[in-house]
């Protein structure tokens, strides 16, 4: 199985560069605006795009992302428009686009239907924060069929056995959750992040791992890249867009990515 996401992350690291993975919600504030915003992020320094699926019960999302996804839903976002967004973004940029979604919408849409439509739209795969590998049998089979990345989470509380399973079954990267709880910018990235990455390194010599939850500054992006394969930023991008539109979002992307490339 190939992985466009893994190839990008590894190529940057081998060149001595870092990786910035950026999140933006599909449909926020409208489908067209979210496509424009996502393309701007890819054109201004994001190496991998996380396109979020708005969901009515976002248990892991911080307030900035919750408010954005709620606005998308209130403005009429429908799940199937995720694929319209992916298709429009991948038509303009080569950046791998991973869809980040809770598992319930995928089940409602049909796991194979979702995978087929995502692959046909040019998507790289899925990040599934509330799906653990032990319960992912059908997704494992279908993602193999459609050659899609599958990103599982590693947490501070993951046992060595669970971490090995996450590493073995993830494709693209393992999402290292630096702090248990909801997403959102924090003044300091938890020291737990280093521990989670160390667990991934112990469990696998080949798995990529990127750190998310709490990263919002260029210093943090550089620091996280010093010991992992990438930094994941979400709330800081959504806030920038909310405050200043696409122009401010592009500037924030440049700011956070500027020190990652030689």
Q: What is the pLDDT along the chain (262 residues), one digit of tens a residue?
A: 789 999 999 999 999 999 999 999 999 999 999 999 999 999 999 999 999 999 887 666 678 888 999 999 999 999 999 999 999 999 999 999 999 999 999 999 999 999 999 999 999 999 999 999 999 999 999 999 999 999 999 998 899 999 999 999 999 999 999 765 555 656 556 678 999 999 999 999 999 999 998 889 999 999 999 999 999 999 999 999 999 999 999 999 999 999 999 8
Alpha carbons 36 and 60: distance in angstroms, whole number: 25
Specify if 29 maps to a domain: yes
What is residue 153's predicted lDDT score, i.e. its pLDDT? 95
Residue 262 lies in a domain: no
The rounded mean pLDDT for the chain is 94
Output the six-digit token pair for 140.
Answer: 């494992």
- Are 146 and 137 in contact by the 8 Å Cβ rule? The answer is no
The answer for residues whose C-beta is within 8 angstroms of residue 99's C-beta and 6 or more apart is 50, 51, 52, 53, 82, 86, 118, 123, 125, 126, 127
Q: Is 190 a catalytic residue?
A: no
Range of the domain at 157: 4-257
Q: Model-level pTM?
A: 0.95
Selecting among 50, 117, 149, 190, the annotated active-site residue is 50
CATH assignment of the domain containing 13? 3.20.20.70
Identify whether 237 is part of a domain: yes
| Residue 224 included in any domain | yes
| 149: annotated active-site residue | no
Annotated active-site residue in 61, 117, 190, 229: 61
User: Scanning the structure block, which residue is given the tokens 């090995």?
Assistant: 164
Domain count of the chain? 1
């Amino acid at each position: 199985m190939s992985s466009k996401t893994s190839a990008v992350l590894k190529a940057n690291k081998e060149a001595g560069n870092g990786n910035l993975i950026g999140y933006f919600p599909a449909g926020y504030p409208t489908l067209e605006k979210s496509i424009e915003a996502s393309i701007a992020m890819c054109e201004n320094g994001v190496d991998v795009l996380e396109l979020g699926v708005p969901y009515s019960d976002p248990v892991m999302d911080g307030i900035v992302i919750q408010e954005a996804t709620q606005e998308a839903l209130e403005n009429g976002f429908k799940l199937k428009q995720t694929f319209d967004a992916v298709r429009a973004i991948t038509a303009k940029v080569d950046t791998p686009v991973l869809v980040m979604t809770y598992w319930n919408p995928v089940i409602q849409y049909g796991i194979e239907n979702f995978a087929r439509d995502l692959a046909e739209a040019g998507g790289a795969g899925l990040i599934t924060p509330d799906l653990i590998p032990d319960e992912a049998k059908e997704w494992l089979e279908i993602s193999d069929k459609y050659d899609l990345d599958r990103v599982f989470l590693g947490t501070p509380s993951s046992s060595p056995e669970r971490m090995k399973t996450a590493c073995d079954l993830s494709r693209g990267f393992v999402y290292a959750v630096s702090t248990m709880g909801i997403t959102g910018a924090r003044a300091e990235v938890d020291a737990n992040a280093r521990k989670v990455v160390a667990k991934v390194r112990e469990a696998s010599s080949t798995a990529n791992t990127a750190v998310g939850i709490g990263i919002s500054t260029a210093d943090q992006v550089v620091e996280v890249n010093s010991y992992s394969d990438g930094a994941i930023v979400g709330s800081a991008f959504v806030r920038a867009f909310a405050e200043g539109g696409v122009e401010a979002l592009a500037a924030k992307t440049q700011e956070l990515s500027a020190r990652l490339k030689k």
